[in-house]
Structure 1
Amino acid sequence: MTETTVTPTHASRTGGRHDEIRFGTSGSTGEARHWFRLPHQMEREVELIGTRLVGPVDRVLNYAPPQHLFGALFGQWLPRIAGVPVHQAWADPFAPLPVSPGERVLAVCIPMAWDLLRRSLPVLERAGSVVALHSSAAAPPTAHELVRRAAPLLRAHEILGSTETGGLAHRPLLPEGPEGGDAGPWQALPDVSFVRDAGAPTRGPEELVIRGPRLARPEHGTRPPDRWATGDLVEFTGPRAFRLVGRSSSLIKVNGVKVHLARVDEQLKACLPQTECVVLPLPDDSLAGEGYVVFWSGRGHAVGIADVRAALRDFPSPSQIVELAGIPRTPTGKPDRSALFAEFAPTSA
């Protein structure tokens, strides 16, 4: 989900209702804007995901800041509705986890949470069961490792969504991870419907456009939009299921060849699983045309730029390959585009 800030129970200056909750997108995937959600939309999402995926819980361990929609939903609203205690682990990530024997635990996860949970596995093993929800950025390898190690005590689900849409789809977080094969399709939540062009081809990528009662109201609108174009490119695998191909902004042409940057990213993860890699499009250049840059960090492993080039042999060459000591990330684990491009110098790879 998009990184957000939230101001609860404040009305919009554009005539919004006084019980609306204001969230502000960070601008990492678009222009910074405010979005407004109603309490019944928050309650409905908690009910949908709580009933379908989580089940009864006795305690919540919340690693998602409540300024983020995901953290607000499952680190504030769910424990309040369920009447259960919540440990706000995001505020002090290294504090001991308060898990009592036999408790049914919900862990609300962003990428940095998984390594902390792995270190606390002896504490989690006191629980009767653990369900983990993951949102924000892609789940790290540690998440799949922990699901594999801690089964059947722990099961996990990924939630796909944004501040604008709320949660729109889910899938199980598999123990083998993306590098071990297909991560599986996303399944739409029951109140989400797809808007598709009747003339669109039956196969091939399409932009994901949805309708649903949990769309947020934009700051300059009087009501939520009728539909929302997510910017995600998908391949539909069934009436209510799809696979993510990438972002519409990540489909570029390099020297006339179409390149799905999500597939470049998948190839790097498969070939270099111990390496952090981020693939980003570059602005169109009137002389050089479209291109992309690969930011990577070997994280102490014996990997070099030649290995990155070898992993990309099936794709047009990137405009540049930039080695970093570590990939800068936002508080919710997404690559920090501004910080990354501050490291970028436009030279040939």
Structure 2
Amino acid sequence: MTKPLSIMVNTGATPEVRFETSGHTAMPIAWFRSREQLDQEIQVILSGRVTKLNRIISFAPTRHIYGYVFAHHLPSYINVKVTEAWRNMLDVPKLKGNEHLLIVATPGCWRIIWEMARYTSPKQWIVLHSGGLLPKLCQPWIEYLLKQGARVIEILGSTETGAIATREANTDYTKPWQLVSDVELAGDYSSGTSRLSISSPRIGRRFDLVVAPHTWTLPDLVDVMPDRRHFTYVGRESRFVKVDGRRCNLELIELRIRTLESIADVACIARRSAVRGEHYDIYLVVRPDSYIGNDLISCIKMVAKGYHSLMR
């Protein structure tokens, strides 16, 4: 039987850690988590899956909950090398043979993971994928990793809730999600597809609350199975897309771009991206005698928060 990765209590630590929503849906909102909650985040994801670890490679920045939990919080307890690959997404991290790796992945980094796997055996790898849907482009790469003995674990969660459910990637891409051990469904799902509502001791404390809520409802739509521990993911109720962990409100983006005098109309269309899993396109109607100038470029940069691929 696989033993969980042992976690020791650090009594001299800061009581709470601050995380913020990405700010694409509205103003960024601060959520606070206790170190006990962060410890439990590690346990519900890695317990029974990791027995040995000597290096962590994170493509998620430390402002991202899983980037912080696995590339900052976890290394504060165990002696492990950390590579912050998110700081330069053009470089392929240098590897040694037979390393016991934990890779914290986001949708935009899978080409780099594939390049890593081409030069060394991924047999001892565990890849945690979060921040959006698995891109279709990476499916053959994942199948290669699985054949070599690696494990790929998808995490469904949010800044507000932490991990809600996981599933191990395999060749069946319709495999249902399973709630992690300390999460329960809070909604009534007897009538079919419904918004995902959960109860969990790891829900964060919003900045304007004295205590954290015990339940939370997300914009994600699910079909729940009779055991209430598994569900299939249907989509989102609203016009939200999640790009590398950043939730983007397409209605809000349209509203901001429409404030520009040179724009007669705008439409943001959600797309499935083979590279990022989810993305969106912006279509513009420019007023006569106007042109696409720096005001539009600045506006899109503001709402897109650094997604320079939009500026093509």
**TM-score, normalising length: structure 1:** 0.64
Does the C-alpha gap of structure 1 residues 142 and 79 become closer, same or farther in structure 2, counting only changes over 3 Å? farther
Q: How far does residue 96 in structure 1 lie from its aligned partner after superposition?
A: 4.4
2:192 to 195, 204, 216: 204
- For 2:94, the aligned partner's letter is P
Q: How far does residue 149 in structure 1 lie from its aligned partner after superposition?
A: 1.8
RMSD: 3.4
| 1:25–1:32 CA contact under 8 A, matched in 2 | yes
Q: What per-residue deviation string (whole Å, max 9, x for no partner) do you get for residues 290-329 of structure 1?
A: xx85356999xxxxxxxxxxxxxxxxxxxx9949xxxxxx
Does the C-alpha gap of structure 1 residues 166 and 279 become closer, same or farther in structure 2, counting only changes over 3 Å? closer
Q: How far does residue 249 in structure 1 lie from its aligned partner after superposition?
A: 1.8
Q: What per-residue deviation string (whole Å, max 9, x for no partner) do you get for residues 23-57 of structure 1?
A: 11112245421110011111111122121444422
User: Which position in structure 2 is the counterpart of 1:217?
Assistant: 205
User: Which position in structure 2 is the counterpart of 1:134?
Assistant: 129
Q: How far does residue 18 in structure 1 lie from its aligned partner after superposition?
A: 5.5
Does the residue aligned with 1:61 lie in a helix, a strand or coil?
strand
1:90 to 86, 90, 96: 86
Percent identical pairs in the alignment equals 29
- The 5 A counterparts of 1:99-110 are 99-110=95-106
User: Which position in structure 2 is the counterpart of 1:113?
Assistant: 109
- Identify the structure with bigger relative contact order (alpha carbons < 8 Å, sequence gap 6+): 2
User: Which position in structure 2 is the counterpart of 1:191?
Assistant: 182
Does the C-alpha gap of structure 1 residues 96 and 296 become closer, same or farther in structure 2, counting only changes over 3 Å? closer
Does the C-alpha gap of structure 1 residues 96 and 233 become closer, same or farther in structure 2, counting only changes over 3 Å? closer
Cα separation, 2, equivalents of 1:123 and 1:89: 17
User: Which position in structure 1 is the counterpart of 2:294?
Assistant: none
Q: How far does residue 187 in structure 1 lie from its aligned partner after superposition?
A: 0.4
**TM-score, normalising length: structure 2:** 0.71
| 1:101–1:128 CA contact under 8 A, matched in 2 | no
Cα separation, 2, equivalents of 1:77 and 1:196: 32
| 1:148–1:176 CA contact under 8 A, matched in 2 | no
Does the residue aligned with 2:86 lie in a helix, a strand or coil?
coil
Give structure 1 stretches of 5+ with no counterpart. 1-16, 251-260, 263-277, 285-291, 300-319, 324-334, 344-349
Cα separation, 2, equivalents of 1:44 and 1:64: 19
User: Which position in structure 2 is the counterpart of 1:166?
Assistant: 162
2:34 to 27, 38, 43: 38
- The 5 A counterparts of 1:296-311 are none
| 1:97–1:123 CA contact under 8 A, matched in 2 | no
Instruction: Give the count of matched residue pairs.
Output: 254
User: Which position in structure 2 is the counterpart of 1:317?
Assistant: none
| 1:107–1:132 CA contact under 8 A, matched in 2 | yes
| 2:103–2:127 CA contact under 8 A, matched in 1 | yes
| 1:279–1:294 CA contact under 8 A, matched in 2 | no
- For 2:135, the aligned partner's letter is P
1:243 maps onto 2:218 in alignment: no
Q: Tell me which stretches of 4 or more aligned residues in structure 1 moved more than 4 Å.
A: 278-284, 295-299, 320-323, 335-340
Does the C-alpha gap of structure 1 residues 162 and 48 become closer, same or farther in structure 2, counting only changes over 3 Å? same
| 1:144–1:173 CA contact under 8 A, matched in 2 | no
User: Which position in structure 2 is the counterpart of 1:4?
Assistant: none
Give structure 2 stretches of 5+ with no counterpart. 1-12, 242-247, 256-266, 275-280, 285-302
| 1:210–1:227 CA contact under 8 A, matched in 2 | yes
